[in-house]
Amino acid sequence: MTCVEEFAEALRTAITNRGLGLERLREHLAQHGVSVSMTTLSYWQTGRSRPERMKSLQAVVHLEHILQVPPGHLSELLGPPRPRGRWLRKAPAPMSAFWPDPSHVEHALLDVETRWDDQLIRVSQQDFVTVGADRTERSFRSRQVLSASMNGPDRWVVIMNSDEYGRPLPELRALKNCEIGRLVQDEDRGFLVAELMFDRVLRKGESIVIEHELVNQDEELSPLAFSYERAFRLPTREYVLELTFEGAAPASVVQLADNSQVEPSRTLLDVSLDVQPGVRGFRWDW
The sheet with strand 227-232 has its strands ordered as 227-232, 278-285, 252-255, 260-262
138 and 261 housed in the same domain: yes
Is residue 93 in a domain? no
Closest CA to 281 of 216, 230, 232: 230
* Count of structural domains within the chain: 2
* CATH value at residue 254: 2.60.40.3140
> How many Å separate Cα 141 from the centre of its chain?
17
Closest CA to 118 of 81, 157, 70, 145: 157
Q: Where are the alpha helices (DSSP H) in 19-144?
A: 22-31, 38-46, 54-66, 102-109
**Which structural domain, as residue segments, surrounds residue 155?**
102-285
181 and 228 housed in the same domain: yes
Is residue 228 in a domain? yes
Is residue 86 in a domain? no
Task: State the Cα–Cα distance between residues 108 and 159, nearest whole angstrom.
Answer: 10
Type of residue at 265: S
Closest CA to 125 of 199, 236, 208, 202: 236
Global pTM?
0.67
172 and 248 housed in the same domain: yes
Is residue 87 in a domain? no
* CATH value at residue 43: 1.10.260
- Is the four-CA dihedral 109, 112, 118, 124 of positive or negative sign? negative
Task: Per-residue pLDDT tens, the chain, 286 aa: give them.
Answer: 667 788 889 999 999 998 888 888 888 888 877 888 888 998 898 888 888 776 787 788 888 889 988 877 887 777 555 544 433 445 566 776 666 666 777 777 888 888 899 899 999 999 999 999 999 888 999 999 999 998 999 999 998 887 666 678 889 999 999 999 999 988 888 789 999 999 999 998 899 999 999 998 766 667 788 999 998 988 999 999 999 999 999 999 999 988 899 999 999 999 999 898 888 999 999 9
250 and 136 housed in the same domain: yes
